[in-house]
A and B are shown apart, each in its own frame.
Chain A
């Protein structure tokens, strides 16, 4: 009995340790105090400040938020297109050794530390004379997201009946039509999860963004928060932003899980 209680309390302690920081931020987003730990009663002042632009930095916060989302969507879309095409190409390499070599090469950017990716891209853009900005950040994010899309699409291809592409050609489809009407529907779930993964990776990224954002004042959430924190304490409104992002991701995750559960059930029938 005692053992059971101990075992369970261990689990709850662990969960508490994991979620306490986020919980505290969310709780203190509903008060108007400047610093965490100083509860001054329930208030939505910070939220209204953030959205109405009354706070000192709220305009910059909103711009950073928009930048982050735009970059994430662009990078994820680009990675999904590139990664899916690459996966089909890699999958169709006849030479087994070459195929394995390319798959291995594909995995390197994923284990490569972000800081290295960031510095190398920074140097590359400088040597090519491309000044940092939206373009470079999107390209940089595409670079580290694409391998994840490839990794998500490849298993779908492997599970596909290899004859269906030929069957489409046989029935009169040109290679492009066959790709669009037969291959894409088959790999779509892989493309979708690759897109979501790329999107979250892009939002999450700090190191690569820092090195590629250039000096024209482009800020994403991660770089803005970092800069803000260094200037002496976090802007209180960032607590609201953190709360909103956390809940959005949570909801997305629940929807995603519900969807894949339903898909799995459908396939069983």
Chain B
């Protein structure tokens, strides 16, 4: 009755470019490997989103091929759900645009997009029974009853709920409700199915079953799936392509095996699977130094003596009883049975702690030797070697940055009030238990164990990240006071 009153006039589907696109956005390197075998069904182009002054998406670009199963993977708060909601049309991007089959759909309202969403908490209509929930979309399209009837029965068969038509949705189990939600979406034959952590509320056994069924459905229906999850195992199992996100940015795009075997940075390595991440130096091609030792490896293309991060997967380290000519020797400090394998913590003679998974058990206290093969060493470019923060010189011995005032060595040649860049090392920062003991306040937002120390990301009150090496144990979310040695601050004027 009111269809015409409320419906937004559809945007002319021309390809005259994105009106939202800010001209000066730098092009991110994060795009799927380009190949034109199959056309891209979805193109996400330099998308940014702010909620107030909080940026939840930062220049995200992503291309999805017709029929692909793409998983957007990341910890909670990384922006993955916001990205999905922009795709569905529930949120508008602050910058950038979304194209579908080459047409800009950024301004197209959700009810005119040929995609459907499966929500995390199912979002079934409680006043309708299973049949009417599933038929909701078709009834809106005013299809004739016979055809609706046939299609409802067909999708009920696909999701394995034949004969559930008359049931009240509240009387169904979580798994069954999720099946109804999927049926309700796929009956509309969307070109793209968006799934927002659809299995998060199910128990482990049910989740595994549903994963297999989803994969099967994807194969049979030929619909493009865009799947959001924080469960790395789920992502590895289901996807053709995984998009790893953190803090509103895409970290890496690739096939599951690429993401697992060739993570581009410590975040990805840490988030996907278990890993040992260590500081290293790439002496020359095929030669990397870490844990005070040189190892042969297969990586190349680094600067001589470049600082790098080294990833060792726990299952790739060989462990055996101590013998004289092994590369590394150490002692087991803990051993846990994990079902298929044992997970052991080994402290090397030089003080590095490594996690090792092996079918053979070595008890705590046992002396062992370790072997690492060149193929199993993964070397990554170090993203940063020191902190660089913008600040303002308050007077010759004080500097304002990170939402606080820090003492520095007397500065000459820079006038008071000038904008400056401040550089300091990861080891120069001291974190205090009580936030008022420091010169600024921050929150521990990411913890990376590097074998013999922790590499923390601390987010200051004004939203800037600094990186801190420490041997003390902190928890994610801890409020800390930030103190920096005055002599460690290297200050240069911003021209």
Contact = CB atoms under 8 A, between A and B. Distances in A.
Contacts of A164: 123-126
A233 interface: no
Contact of B137 (A163, A166, A171, A176): A171
Contact of A173 (B89, B123, B140): B140
Interface string A230-255: 00000000000000000000000000
3 smallest CB-CB distances across A and B, nearest first, come from A163-B123, A171-B137, A167-B123
B90 A166 contact: yes
Nearest to B127: A185
A100 to B, nearest CB: 18
Contacts of A172: 111-112, 137, 140-141, 188
Contacts, number: 75
B224 to A, nearest CB: 16
B110 interface: yes
Interface centre among A167, A176, A181, by most chain B C-beta atoms within 10 angstroms, is A167
Contacts of A161: 121-123, 126
A168 interface: yes
B109 interface: yes
Interface of B: 2-3, 5-7, 88-90, 109-112, 115-117, 119-127, 136-137, 140-141, 184-185, 188
A169 B113 CA distance: 10
Contacts of B88: 166, 170
For chain A, the bracket of interface size reads 20 to 34
Interface of A: 161, 163-164, 166-177, 180-182, 185-186
B80 to A, nearest CB: 16
A180 B362 CA distance: 66
A174 B108 CA distance: 12
A146 B33 CA distance: 59
Nearest to B126: A186
Given A166-B90, A166-B110, A169-B109, A174 B7 contact: yes
A170 B6 contact: no
A173 B5 CA distance: 13
Contacts of A176: 2, 5-6
A185 to B, nearest CB: 4
Contacts of A169: 89-90, 109-111
A57 to B, nearest CB: 48
Contact of B111 (A173, A180, A186): A173
B119 A177 contact: no
B223 to A, nearest CB: 15
Contacts of A167: 117, 119, 123-125, 184
Contact of B127 (A163, A174, A186): A186
Interface centre among A170, A174, A176, A180, by most chain B C-beta atoms within 10 angstroms, is A170
A206 to B, nearest CB: 39
A174 B123 contact: no
Contacts of B115: 170
Contacts of B110: 166, 169-170
8 contacts: A161-B123, A161-B126, A163-B121, A164-B124, A169-B90, A172-B188, A174-B2, A175-B6
Given A167-B117, A172-B137, A172-B140, A177 B127 contact: no
A18 B90 CA distance: 56
A186 B7 CA distance: 23
A182 B6 contact: no
